[in-house]
Structure 1
């Protein structure tokens, strides 16, 4: 007699008694072959001459302080391809799933699902022969209340505060800033959002201070993560320097951020350190426009405002006449510009390599929107996972080191003469690259701070 199947909605609650997880919300996804469980601090070990794996999990969505320590027998290591095409090697465990008053063993991969929201994904292999899915419904089974969840996890470990970390930025609702705050809290640190515009400082040889609106003194910070908008670079870097004067560890220094925001100086610095860039021209007078255009190989060419950011103030001049018009128009406004060769063979694509503490932790390819020449996600472009070449990784790491940046978004373009560096960003956004790669880049930034405080965290 065939087994009777039961119906689940697209989201349901389940439990894993062998792992000590009494309730966890799962995304029910028949499009995914394998089930996946959110896990951090994953470490294999030997137990009774068998391979096991231990890991931590934050089982409640949007709760980063409740932690369950788990261990399970390791049954496999498997390369899993995500929906965005990213391939990742994962540990595989087998454990009993309890759902709808039924229990059966399922295989699950362990992976960091911070950027995915749901701590659990239930794939079709685990559902086969037992479950039907109604994607229009949710929580067809019993849904625990907040009080019940508190009761379930009454004996769970609450992460203790480690370091006191400030995020020096402008918008607490920005994806990147929210993720950094979450990542720090998840790793047990005391996180504080510090709005740049609400900070002011006292310059004093004996006791330099930073105050927050209302008179609160910002003291006893272990580290600060500066994420400064280009429009407030001067004041944001002044605050960062003040924190440095107070012996606070800053993930990116004020001097590194300042030089990264000076496009001309940063390109000169990169060239001095052996990093190739597209041929670039710079002149003060409109009288030199004709030779400036010849210098970069003629039209088409790119004209960039030195003060521009996120693709703003970047113009493609397709003819010599258009180039002369654009250059002279900017010059008539006393604007400082760069003129740069146009890499036609890149076909509207570039690479963003995210460097943290001297290591490339993620990379994406950005493609321009139809009708655009700039590969810019903010302007309708798309992002996809890409594997950079060893040479591209070397350039990214070398560029970040030359700029003295511990965190950097390095933009590279693939040309007929090899990879060329376009720009180095000292406050790179996380949304596009985390969304495409599903990597915990915010966590990598926090780990870079922890590395500096190893002795304090022991």
Structure 2
């Protein structure tokens, strides 16, 4: 089958860290045709959505070493109609331009898209957790989102906690995440001036500080609504953010039973929204964020546990494509039978 990956840029992939590259290599190993595509290469030709894609040329022998594979990959560039893909994986850091989803709308009934286009619309930013029903904050931290300095200041004043987490709504990779000390009131307004502009288009998240946050968080990968794997991300010394991009380190981790229960609790919701491959950031039993566009962690979980989670992901892609082919064949058969009965 032909699998496309919408990514930021091939040159930016880090072979030893990239989950995307690991999945791509597995697809190539299974003799699937693999192409990459950048969002600025999407186009429409005579009302049909195309892309200037780069297809990986066949290799005589596929290197076992991921770095060698990355270096040896060569591409053939070609303008191609996107409905020629059997499957497309979106693997680009958020936020994604809504126009990209409009392009993909044209093919979503013909091509398997992971994650689902409408699901990404719902979960394209950190507001998605508001769709989970957790009025008593059993698995979601107390969270406020606003573009109003006045409102954010009011919440800070009313808070009984001495520490709060402030971060931009559209950030990723731990960028812009800071700890607000309530007693440092003189700095709060200047910080809010930086995060919120006068247009009101910039939103911030104000979140309760969860005890134990200084020890990092847990990245949990979910596939098809079920727990796939996890690892512990510890922040660098003097750093709050545990993200690997921010200097955090990866450590082996086994989910507690209560954490597994939380994963089960939201798994059905993820599946219903077409969010098949998802990363959860957790501290204790609380979900801080849901990552639906480019969740990483496969390489770390594989290394720490001697697993091959990328194989599970490609198995799933193959199953979804086969499922769509079977449904299409079934529909064509029913339409044919209906036509014959009318005659």
What's the TM-score, normalizing by structure 1? Answer: 0.57
- Give 1:411's aligned residue: 281
* 2:52 is equivalent to residue 212 of structure 1: yes
Match of 1:436 among 299, 304, 321: 304
Match of 1:423 among 282, 289, 305: 289
Which residues of structure 2 form unaligned runs of 5+?
A: 54-77, 327-343
List per-residue Cα deviations over 1:92-134 (Å, max 9, x = no partner).
Answer: xxxxxxxxxxxxxxxxxxxxxxxxxxxxxxxxxxxxxxxxxxx
Q: Contact 1:172 / 1:178 at 8 angstroms: preserved in 2?
A: no
- Give 1:268's aligned residue: 130
* 2:42 is equivalent to residue 199 of structure 1: yes
Alignment of 1:53-92 (within 5 A): none
SS of 1:408's partner is strand
Q: Determine which structure has greater relative contact order: mean sequence separation of CA pairs < 8 Å that are 6+ residues apart, divided by chain length.
A: 2
Q: Does 403-412 or 189-198 show the bigger shift?
A: 189-198
SS of 2:222's partner is strand
List per-residue Cα deviations over 1:399-442 (Å, max 9, x = no partner).
Answer: 3542421000111111xxxx111001111123433333342222
* 2:211 is equivalent to residue 349 of structure 1: no
- Give 1:373's aligned residue: 240
Match of 2:192 among 292, 317, 327: 327
List per-residue Cα deviations over 1:285-334 (Å, max 9, x = no partner).
Answer: 32334431145433311111111111112111123414444235423454
Structure 1 residues 358 and 286: alpha-carbon distance in aligned structure 2, compared to 1, 3 A threshold = closer
Distance 2:209 2:178 in 1: 11
- Give 1:223's aligned residue: 87
Distance 1:442 1:235 in 2: 29
Distance 2:96 2:46 in 1: 20
Q: CA deviation at 1:169?
A: 1.7
What's the TM-score, normalizing by structure 2? Answer: 0.74
- Give 2:204's aligned residue: 337
List per-residue Cα deviations over 1:41-73 (Å, max 9, x = no partner).
Answer: xxxxxxxxxxxxxxxxxxxxxxxxxxxxxxxxx
Q: CA deviation at 1:387?
A: 0.7
| Matched residue count | 286
Distance 2:103 2:159 in 1: 39
Match of 2:178 among 303, 306, 315: 315
* 2:106 is equivalent to residue 242 of structure 1: yes
Distance 1:216 1:210 in 2: 5
* 2:288 is equivalent to residue 450 of structure 1: no
Structure 1 residues 263 and 367: alpha-carbon distance in aligned structure 2, compared to 1, 3 A threshold = same
Structure 1 residues 171 and 283: alpha-carbon distance in aligned structure 2, compared to 1, 3 A threshold = closer
Distance 2:321 2:196 in 1: 49
Distance 2:194 2:93 in 1: 27
SS of 1:449's partner is helix
Q: CA deviation at 1:360?
A: 1.4
SS of 2:107's partner is helix
Q: CA deviation at 1:263?
A: 1.4
List per-residue Cα deviations over 1:205-249 (Å, max 9, x = no partner).
Answer: xxx43242764333432111111232543243233323304x101
SS of 1:166's partner is strand
* Structure ID, larger Rg: 1
Distance 2:158 2:300 in 1: 35
Structure 1 residues 332 and 165: alpha-carbon distance in aligned structure 2, compared to 1, 3 A threshold = closer
Match of 2:2 among 164, 182, 185: 164
Which residues of structure 1 form unaligned runs of 5+?
A: 1-162
Q: CA deviation at 1:382?
A: 0.8
Q: CA deviation at 1:369?
A: 0.6
- Give 2:334's aligned residue: none
SS of 2:120's partner is helix
Match of 1:178 among 21, 30, 53: 21
SS of 2:133's partner is helix
Q: Contact 1:365 / 1:386 at 8 angstroms: preserved in 2?
A: yes
